[in-house]
A = this chain, B = another copy of it.
Amino acid sequence: MSSGRHFLQIPGPTNVPDRVLRAISYPTIDHRGPEFARLGREAVDSLKTVVRTESDAVIYPSSGTGAWEAALVNTLSPGDQVLMFETGHFGTLWAGVARELGIEVSFVPGDWRSGVDPAVVEERLRADGDHRIKAVAVVHNETSTGVTSRVPEVRAAMDRAGHPALLLVDTISSLGSVDYRHDEWGVDVTVGCSQKGLMLPPGLSFNAISAKALRASRTAGLRRSYWNWEPMLEANTGGFFPYTPATNLLYGLREAVEMLHEEGLDSVFARHRRHAEAARTAAASWGLDVLCRVPEEHSPVLTAVMMPEGHDADELRAAILEHFDISLGAGLSKLSGRVFRIGHLGHFNDPALLGTLGGIEAGLRLAKVPYSPGVAAAAEYLADTAGMRR
């Protein structure tokens, strides 16, 4: 048994605030009663203020993976083509889900160090003269690499190509942490979940749905029952759900969104950017490279740090977990052992970041990875930007 509070610095699930933990521990209520109707409405409405949509949104009792599936089965038919991108592990997994559901994936290869290239989107869509591509599916923030794709530029590329495909965006690890605008950016389906920037435990996932996506759903031919938007939207009008919702997590959602607005969404986003910059400052001082190679695509929510040759990231992570009680994210799939990922998102503050960076620095020493001091540089950066905290 170790002492002290664990530092959960993976890029999600994130450290759940006490307010949210207390909220989810309130007694479960009748999901068909008047008190629930209020909760149901407030939960959906809350969510929409974060996704920034005045259109529809639905909440599933499921992991984020479920919302991936929901976005596809509600809008597509067997054999439809979807344009997807190898931005990293999760972009690749989503393509796998699409294939399992009987969708044809046009997959754009990538180097796992950069986001979706808007020029490639335009090119691919222009080449698709007969509009076989029914959707473009983009991961906003690649949790496996720390790269944030530029969604508005993807949208602009689609518009320039004059292509009618739907735009589906995975905001799993960006929602509530990175500026995102479903309506303004012309997204058709937003995919999100609870356990990252929304500061909740896992168990809820979301779709925000444009009018165009909703129209598409009326003729989409993929079989669906659990994920079907239609009965969900219908029941939601009264504040209810077509099946038993995850009531206690909805308590948490309402509370967490209230916290985001108390801080102010813009302040929340600025905080994440500032912490990301501090993390990169430490990495640079350590003499370690950051995986993301496109400056304007650095993720505000996590930083993937590359190990020097001959040093294994998982051994470092294990030492840091055992000796300094900090969980860091592993390199996934082809990055296994080559990077460690620092999550600096969600309910987080300066001393927690400094503790994380300090613990990593101690871990580098313990694991005999060559480094120069870095946490002091991060502390300086935080001091010099203290006025910008909110």
A residues in contact (CB < 8 Å) with B: 1-8, 10, 12-18, 21-22, 24-34, 60-66, 69, 96-97, 100-102, 193, 195, 201-203, 222-226, 228, 242-249, 259, 262-263, 268, 271, 321, 323-327, 330, 347-359, 361-363, 365-366, 373, 375-376, 378-380, 382-384, 386, 389-390
- Given A3-B271, A323-B386, A325-B350, 17 more A-B residue pairs with CB atoms under 8 Å apart are A3-B348, A5-B347, A21-B27, A24-B25, A24-B201, A25-B25, A30-B327, A32-B330, A61-B203, A62-B66, A65-B244, A69-B226, A201-B248, A324-B351, A362-B379, A365-B383, A366-B383
Q: Are B366 and A386 in contact (CB under 8 A)?
A: yes
Write the nearest CB–CB distance from A140 to chain B, whole angstroms: 17
**Residue of B at shortest CB range from A4?**
B349
Q: Are B202 and A2 in contact (CB under 8 A)?
A: no
- A379: chain B residues at CB < 8 Å are 358-359, 361-362, 365, 373, 375
Write the nearest CB–CB distance from A187 to chain B, whole angstroms: 22
Q: Are B349 and A64 in contact (CB under 8 A)?
A: no
Q: 14 A–B contact pairs at CB < 8 A?
A: A3-B347, A4-B350, A5-B5, A5-B17, A6-B27, A10-B32, A28-B195, A63-B246, A97-B225, A100-B225, A222-B223, A323-B350, A323-B383, A323-B389
- A96: chain B residues at CB < 8 Å are 225
Q: Are B356 and A351 in contact (CB under 8 A)?
A: yes
Bound-state CA distance A29–B6 (Å) is 9
Q: Are B6 and A223 in contact (CB under 8 A)?
A: no
Q: Are B358 and A354 in contact (CB under 8 A)?
A: yes
Partner of A18, one of B24, B27, B69: B27
Bound-state CA distance A32–B8 (Å) is 12
Integer count of this chain's copies in the complex: 4
- A18: chain B residues at CB < 8 Å are 5, 26-27
Write the nearest CB–CB distance from A174 to chain B, whole angstroms: 16
Bound-state CA distance A30–B69 (Å) is 24
- A32: chain B residues at CB < 8 Å are 10, 330
Bound-state CA distance A1–B19 (Å) is 13
Partner of A354, one of B25, B201, B359: B359
Q: Are A380 and B351 in contact (CB under 8 A)?
A: no
Q: Are B223 and A223 in contact (CB under 8 A)?
A: yes
Q: Are A248 and B325 in contact (CB under 8 A)?
A: no
- A245: chain B residues at CB < 8 Å are 63, 202
- A384: chain B residues at CB < 8 Å are 365
Q: Are A325 and B351 in contact (CB under 8 A)?
A: yes
Q: Are A225 and B259 in contact (CB under 8 A)?
A: no
- A373: chain B residues at CB < 8 Å are 373, 376, 379
- A262: chain B residues at CB < 8 Å are 1
Q: Are A362 and B349 in contact (CB under 8 A)?
A: no
Q: Are A327 and B358 in contact (CB under 8 A)?
A: no
Q: Are A63 and B65 in contact (CB under 8 A)?
A: no
A263/B4 contact (C-beta < 8 A), A61-B61, A243-B63, A323-B350 known: no
Bound-state CA distance A60–B330 (Å) is 24
Bound-state CA distance A61–B249 (Å) is 12
Q: Are B349 and A325 in contact (CB under 8 A)?
A: yes
Write the nearest CB–CB distance from A304 to chain B, whole angstroms: 15
8 interchain residue pairs of minimum CB distance = A355-B355, A4-B349, A354-B358, A203-B246, A351-B355, A25-B25, A365-B383, A65-B243
Write the nearest CB–CB distance from A76 to chain B, whole angstroms: 12
Bound-state CA distance A386–B356 (Å) is 16
Bound-state CA distance A362–B383 (Å) is 5
